[in-house]
Amino acid sequence: MADSQTETVTSGVPADKVTLDNTLPKGWDKEGTFVGRVMIPGVGPAIVRLEKNGTLTDITETYSTMSKLCAEADPAAAAWKAEGKSLGKLSDILAASPTDQRTGKTPHLLAPIDLQTVKAAGVTFAVSLVQRMVEEEAEKTGRPAKQIEEEIEAVIGGSLRELEPGTEKALKLLDHIKAPKKPDGVVIPQNMVEEIKDIVAGGVAGVASHGAKILEYLGLIAKGPDIDPKKQYGLGLSHHYPAVGLGKLAEIFTKADTLACVGHGSDSGYLAASNWNNPEPEVVVVTSPTGKIVGATLGNDINHRDIEGYSALLLGECKNQKGSCVVGPFIRLFDNSFSIKDVNTMDVELEIKGNDNFTLSGQKNSMSQISRSPEALTKQMYSEGKEYKDGAALFCGTMFVPKYRHGEEKFAHKEGDIVTIKTDKLGSLTSQMVHCPKVSQPEPGLSELMENLAERKLLSRGPEWGSKVAKHHGYSAGLSA
């Protein structure tokens, strides 16, 4: 049932979810380079570095945007080298970060990305592929989702987890998935049915005079369905999701507009009319303009499965809604303590606590089981014909989503749900679910950001600016305006 449109009392993200211990990973004060963004009341957004003593340093005068920092050859080294001024204790800023605690006096966290293009990859885990096939088949046939899932798992569940997408074996399996099912039971051709009707209509005499014909038809019926030995039979399922789960190209789509993500402690949004929706706990890799992965953070790729199940062509409608992209708490940049190897072995946990006493915990999204690695996804994202001048943030996909709530066949959020996504290397990301119109956008749009940075005199072009622009547009720096 869709969540009610009536006003629901929500209490915001609990204070214990925005403490240092419940936000940062263990050992943050000994190793790691953590950078993020905060909103300073009366000033504007700031790029910050987490110090080992638990304070935040504003490095905006050196790096006016996070995308600029991530474009450096060594962003971690650049972050530590940048001079700045202290903004005080992170614990105080965390306490002021829940939407209902923002007084306009204390800085609060924002999503750690800014100008980066926000992309997301889908169907990157075998388990996710099975779930998508189940959803589409259940919507199309009305059959119970559990029954369909059991059938698929019995045939291909185990083999899927071992397959590398795009290989000959994977493509053969794809053919098997989309090939029509072998006929079951007795199949009687329509012309036979019509002829039997005519014979029976003739009464006893008619039946007696056509005894040989009836015996012939009974023999065909006893023989069973007409199976074509030359025809390839399979599961007879839609191939849309298997095509991107097993084929050569991954599903990569735009998840959110620039500066539209919400951060740790914020309210996040879902559509009130949706009766099938869920969080998707994911690792988000952050890239430079050249396609180099420079760090990682956590993300919640909130999805409306009823819309997606209706048609895969409505992906933008089911994914890109106000407050439906949650990122944070910080970006952990690659350095000698953290690398892509750590990302590839992470276990990402999901926890949901609702006002209706619903609790979900203990489920893990194991990056070691991903079918398409973050490196492979990034390589496709930056393939020929694509360019991200301010870098990108890429959601890498999830292997599970919550299926049921209090015995209901389909999971759906309720207002006030507290969703936490966590991993031992990146910390925890928590938000409160509310209807999309109630989400308070935490920061201005792109044009307002540029105006704000210009007023703060943070948009200095630098001595090399003219030559860079000239080279990009193919003319001499001396002739540039």
> What band does 467 get if pLDDT is binned at 50, 70 and 90?
low
Give phi and psi for 303, each to the nearest 5.
-130, 145
Q: Which CATH superfamily is domain 15-124+250-443 in?
A: Fumarylacetoacetase-like, C-terminal domain (3.90.850.10)
Q: Does the pLDDT at position 224 exceed 60?
A: no
Higher model confidence: residue 391 or residue 163? 391
Lowest mean pLDDT among 120-134, 187-201, 405-419: 187-201
Q: Does the pLDDT at position 351 exceed 70?
A: yes
Q: Which pLDDT score is estimated for 475? A: 55
Q: Which pLDDT score is estimated for 229? A: 64
Higher model confidence: residue 142 or residue 2? 142
DSSP 125-165: SHHHHHHHHHHHHHHHH---HHHHHHHHIIIIIHHHTTPPT
Q: Does the pLDDT at position 480 exceed 50?
A: no
Mean pLDDT of 286-291: 97
SS (HEC) of 287-342 = ECCCCCEEEEEEEEECEEHHHHHHCHHHHHHHHCCCCCEEEEEEEEECECCECHHH
Q: Does the pLDDT at position 457 exceed 80?
A: yes
pTM as predicted: 0.83
Q: Which pLDDT score is estimated for 441? A: 75
Q: Does the pLDDT at position 459 exceed 80?
A: yes
Mean pLDDT of 205-228: 61
CA gap 273, 306 in Å, rounded:
10
Give phi and psi for 375, each to the nearest 5.
-65, -45
Q: Does the pLDDT at position 81 exceed 70?
A: yes
Q: What DSSP designation does 44 have?
A: E
Q: Does the pLDDT at position 232 exceed 80?
A: no
Kindly tell me the sign of the dihedral angle through the C-alpha atoms of 377, 382, 384, 385.
positive
CA gap 467, 476 in Å, rounded:
8
Which element (helix H / strand E) includes 466?
helix 465-473
- Angle at Cα 298 formed by Cα 3 and Cα 329, nearest 5°? 95
Q: Does the pLDDT at position 219 exceed 80?
A: no
- Angle at Cα 347 formed by Cα 346 and Cα 351, nearest 5°? 140
Which element (helix H / strand E) includes 381?
helix 374-381
Write out pLDDT tens, residues 372-428. 999 999 999 999 889 999 999 999 999 877 878 877 878 999 999 999 999 999 999
Lowest mean pLDDT among 77-86, 191-200, 414-423: 191-200
Mean pLDDT of 268-274: 96
Q: Does the pLDDT at position 478 exceed 60?
A: no
Q: Does the pLDDT at position 239 exceed 90?
A: no
Higher model confidence: residue 355 or residue 137? 355
3-state class percentages of the chain: helix first, strand second, coil last, to nearest 5: 35, 25, 45
Mean pLDDT of 87-110: 95
Q: Does the pLDDT at position 101 exceed 70?
A: yes
CA gap 33, 26 in Å, rounded:
13
Q: Which pLDDT score is estimated for 301? A: 97
- Average of per-residue pLDDT values in the chain: 86
CA gap 91, 397 in Å, rounded:
31
Q: Which pLDDT score is estimated for 428? A: 98
Q: Does the pLDDT at position 13 exceed 50?
A: yes
Q: Does the pLDDT at position 187 exceed 60?
A: no
Q: What DSSP designation does 25 have?
A: P
Contact 34, 426 (CB under 8 A): no
Q: Does the pLDDT at position 15 exceed 80?
A: yes
Where helices occur in 27-125 by DSSP H, the ranges are: 66-70, 75-81, 90-95
Q: Does the pLDDT at position 461 exceed 80?
A: no
Domain locations in the chain as residue ranges? 15-124+250-443, 126-182+228-242, 190-223
CA gap 261, 284 in Å, rounded:
13
- Angle at Cα 459 formed by Cα 457 and Cα 461, nearest 5°? 125
Lowest mean pLDDT among 97-106, 137-146, 263-272, 315-324: 137-146
> What band does 140 get if pLDDT is binned at 50, 70 and 90?
confident
CA gap 316, 121 in Å, rounded:
13
Q: Which pLDDT score is estimated for 141? A: 77
Higher model confidence: residue 329 or residue 123? 329
366: exposed, middle or buried (Cβ count in 10 Å: 0-12, 13-18, 19+): middle
Q: Which pLDDT score is estimated for 357? A: 92
Mean pLDDT of 335-345: 98
Q: Does the pLDDT at position 462 exceed 70?
A: no
Bridge-based pairing of strands 117-122 and 392-395 is parallel
Mean pLDDT of 439-448: 87
Q: Does the pLDDT at position 281 exceed 80?
A: yes
Lowest mean pLDDT among 2-11, 16-25, 172-181: 2-11
Report residue 99 as tokens.
């939407």
